[in-house]
Amino acid sequence: MQGTILILQRLGERKKQKWNKSMDRKYVSSSNIASIGYDSMNQVLEVEFLNGSIYQYYDVPEALYEGLMAADSHGKYLNEYIKRGGYSYARV
C-alpha cells in the first residue's frame, strides 16, 4: 500500500513539474481573481490573483472550468468547487 501511495505522489509531482509554466488566461471581473486559464488536454486550471500570485490546479474537469467562467462570483465558485473539492495545486 505504501508503495502505491509513493508512486501516486511521484506521478503528481511529475505532473506539477511538467505544467509548472503559465498558460493563456482570460481576464475576469472579480474582487480577488485577475485571470483564469485552462488546458483541457491535461485538465490544468490556472488562476492569477490580483496580488500577482498564480496557482495551477490539477485534474480539474472541464465542466468545473466552464462553471467557474460562468459563475456570478468567480472567487466563491473557486473556493466552493475547486479548493474544497480537494484538487491538488501548486504556486507557479
Render each residue's pLDDT in the chain as its tens digit; 92 residues.
444 343 344 444 545 544 556 589 999 999 999 999 999 999 999 999 999 999 999 999 999 999 999 999 999 999 999 999 999 999 98
**pTM of the model as a whole:** 0.78
Which set of grid coordinates corresponds to residue 77?
465558485
What integer pLDDT is reported at residue 21 of this predicted model? Answer: 60
* Residue 85 φ/ψ, nearest 5 degrees: -75, -10
Query: In 3D, which of 34, 13, 14 has the Cα closest to residue 25?
Result: 34
Instruction: Identify the pLDDT of residue 23.
Output: 83
In total, how many domains does the chain have? 1
Q: What's the domain range around 42? A: 2-91
Task: Give Dmax (Cα) for the chain.
Answer: 45
